[in-house]
Structure 1
Amino acid sequence: MTETKTSQITVERLRTLMTPDPAHPEEVEGVLNPAAARGPDGQLYLFPRLVGKGNYSRIGIARVIFDEAGSPTGVERLGIALEPETDYETWPDGRGGCEDPRVSYVKPLGHYVMSYTAWSDTGPRIAIARSKDLLSWERIGLAKFNPNKTIALDGVDNKDACIFPELIDDPDGRLSVAMLHRPLFVGTRPEEIVDPNIETPQQDELQTIWISYWHWHADSEHQKPSGRQFVSHRPLALPEYGWEKLKIGGGTPPIACRFGWLIVYHGVQEAPHSTPEKRKYLYSAGIMILDRDRPHHVLYRSHEPVLVPSLPDELLGTVDGVVFPTGIDRRDDLGQPERFDVYYGMADDKIGVATFTLPDNLDVKSRDAHGLTLQFKELHSRSHS
């Protein structure tokens, strides 16, 4: 175990929790980037991306095993949640991908909602599924997006989506299912930004984590978002600090904490040993706090990463130098609501777990995606006036 204190947050790496089992052909090339959710039975379940031969990805199911002190020590594999079947998950040549899931229980919908990356010959897209028990999953389909002014979001490569666990008012006060996501517009991938021959888009919104809203109605087809149409959008956060210079993207689903909505997100920078001939990148993790009532306002953000690749399992693997947070578990079961266990991909082929403990106080301010800053007390008083 290693413990660090960064930006007032204590982070303790616990262990490498899951590695590929050569006895399972569906994961011979890696297990990584898991969703995490407590089931109706109170048990914690992971939904790792399982990579088989030829980069063929499924989403598995595993139950987390804890020791007497409540520390995660291993997993019990339970099978497959989703594997490529639809046209938006498969290629004509037999390749396919159901990748990098996030899971939230959305109580008003009465379902667990999984957002995941569907990979086909049209590119990566956000897909949605739902479940009553975490074991059987029903596909809802691809997320659809109305344009945002002059920016078309539908039909654009997109990843890193996660759903809020509660219904949220959109900026116009309409009750909604809210989702964070990261469109990958042309010129905004790390390898494109560092390439002097590729022009980086000048519009800040094109390098942003977005928050989008699907307007919810109580009489909607058994509370099922059949249209999957997200109609209201806002830029949330731009790359701002050195550790996230090349890309910023979502991570764990939003989870309530004393300060607002907590997310652990990822940022990308060029690695120290990178060269123009052979580019190398570091994927690190940071903390973001969103306003509870107006989550398009960022209240707190890590100036420095709280989790940087440093262990051998994080530095060497399918993709070197990667920590990629995707699952989070608030430890209410231990009576520790300020402790969050974060499950993350290690170098794109293993799964690690670390404990994040929040301090009594954070220097929270409100910032929009363009750097506008308001004192939190002022924002709080206006939002309740």
Structure 2
Amino acid sequence: MLGAFNPGLVRLPDGNLLLMVRVAEALAEPVAGGAVRSIRWTPDGYTLDAWPLDQVDMTDPRQFELPGRAHRMLALTSLSWLLPVELSPDGRQVVAVHYDRAIEPVASWQQFGIEDARISRIDGRYWMTSCVVGSERHGTALHVSEDGIAWMPQGLVLDHQNKDMVLFEGRIGGMVMALTRPLGELWFAEPPGSPFAGGPSINLARSPDGLHWKPLEQPLIRPRAGSPFAMKVGGGTPPVLTDGGWLTIWHGVERRGAVGVYRSFWALLDAHEPWRIVGGDDEVPLLEASPALTAPIADRLYLPSPVVFSTGIADGGDHWIVASGEADLACRMSFIPKARFA
């Protein structure tokens, strides 16, 4: 196993917490016989693909690139699936690991894995989005559940190059709302003097049923010109309604090396018009990677730069329980006083 990280988080009907952990599995010896190998799901079982070393760029340890193609082409060094892990109500102890409810690839559009679950409670049901990866598309899938343990697949809801889809915990004006983050190789320049930088941003979409989505025209969280965290921004935790508005924790990336440095920031969105940011901080990180947390397993670190990637949030009374991935290796639980977001 390469790592268990980037977990979705939600409170179950009995008060326990559920982590939906991304488990990434990789080959112990990915390079053999002058080739690098990747794992791929097929209807007949998992198989290995081999790519000659002189045809790949292995700068990023999470993936390798195939240069010289008509389009930018990547392959992953691991394959991911989702594992439900039940915790005590305070989030400090593991109660059960539900291997019998694991979610793994079952279709060609998931052939390279299922990643980064986010879970929200809407209309008394549990809704979970996840990133799905295959040569056909790189999009977002939806699962629903009545109890938070047994999940029913609903298929694709956002098509290629749209990930980090995060559902609000509750409807707004009768509609299901979501943060989205479209990707792409081409972006148009901001005009000279603009406070924003071009590139991926966090957008909004709405849906009557969680299956059919329409983007909102209003932009939301955009990378700022001159900010060290503007290499990439993306959604993190599901927005939860507070007295001050919808609280969400998102990630910003500083350009450093092949991977970049990931940090968590926060924003408050207006309760009725969530495209209006009414509070938050995009300059001082809320969470940064902590080498002390991964010190006992430092021999397994493979990323060249610090990464914390927040993916879940639950109410802990006078504090918020925030679930994150640490170094694409392990799950991290942070306990943040609610007063921090005042």
TM-score under structure 1 normalisation? Answer: 0.67
Look up the match of 2:114: 98
SS in structure 1 of the partner of residue 223 of structure 2: coil
The residue matched to 1:242 in structure 2 has which SS?
coil
Secondary structure, aligned partner of 2:220? strand
User: How far is the alpha carbon of 1:78 from its aligned partner?
Assistant: 1.6
**Does 2:162 align with 1:182?**
no
Distance 2:246 2:230 in 1: 24
Question: 1:359, 1:313 → 2: CA distance?
Answer: 25
The amino acid of 2:250's aligned partner reads Y
2:106 matches 1:85: yes
Contact between 2:199 and 2:223, CA under 8 Å: does it hold in 1? Answer: no
Q: CA deviation at 1:65?
A: 3.5
Q: Paired residues, what number? A: 277
Q: Deviations over 1:256-296 (max 9, x none)?
A: 2221111111000023xx4xxxx451000011111111111
Distance 1:44 1:330 in 2: 10
2:148 corresponds to 1:134? yes
In structure 2, the residue matched to 1:39 is: 12
Query: Which runs of at least 4 in structure 1 moved beyond 6 Å after TM superposition?
Result: none
2:208 counterpart residue number: 215
| Offset of residue 74 of structure 1 | 4.2
The partner residue of 1:346 within 316, 326, 332 is: 326
- Percent identical pairs in the alignment equals 26
Structure 1: runs of 5+ lacking an equivalent? 1-27, 91-95, 145-154, 170-174, 188-199, 217-224, 363-385
Q: Are 1:230 and 2:213 counterparts?
A: yes
1:323 has 2:308 as partner: yes
AA aligned opposite 1:122? E
Give the distance between the partners of 1:360 and 1:349, measured in 2 at CA. 27
**Unpaired runs of 5+ in structure 2?**
27-38, 40-77, 191-196
Matching residue's letter, 2:84: I
The answer as to whether partners of 1:102 and 1:253 remain within 8 angstroms in 2 is yes
Equivalent residue runs for 1:1-385 within 5 Å:
28-53=1-26, 54=39, 55-65=78-88, 70=90, 72-74=92-94, 76-79=96-99, 80-90=101-111, 96-107=112-123, 110-144=124-158, 155-169=159-173, 175-187=174-186, 200-202=187-189, 207-216=200-209, 225=210, 228-234=211-217, 235-240=219-224, 242-271=227-256, 274=257, 279-302=258-281, 303-313=283-293, 317-319=301-303, 320-332=305-317, 336=318, 339-359=319-339, 362=342
Report Cα offsets for 1:327-372 as digits up to 9, x if no partner: 111113xxx2xx101110011011111111132874xxxxxxxxxx
Counterpart of 2:229 in structure 1: which amino acid?
Answer: E
Tell me by how many angstroms 1:76 deviates: 3.2
Structure 2: distance between partners of 1:269 and 1:142? 31
Distance 1:280 1:101, change over 3 A: closer
CA contact (8 A) 1:59 1:99 kept: yes
**Partner Cα distance (1:77, 1:32) in 2:** 15
Q: Is the 8 A contact 2:199 2:232 kept in 1?
A: no
Secondary structure at 1:359 match in 2: helix
2:189 maps to amino acid: Q
Question: Larger relative CO (CA 8 A, sep 6+): 1 or 2?
Answer: 1
Shift in CA distance, 138/71, structure 1 to aligned 2, threshold 3 Å: closer
Query: What do residues 199-226 of structure 1 show as CA deviations (whole Å, max 9, x unaligned)?
Result: x53267852101101125xxxxxxxx5x
8 Å Cα contact 1:35/1:48 also seen in 2: yes
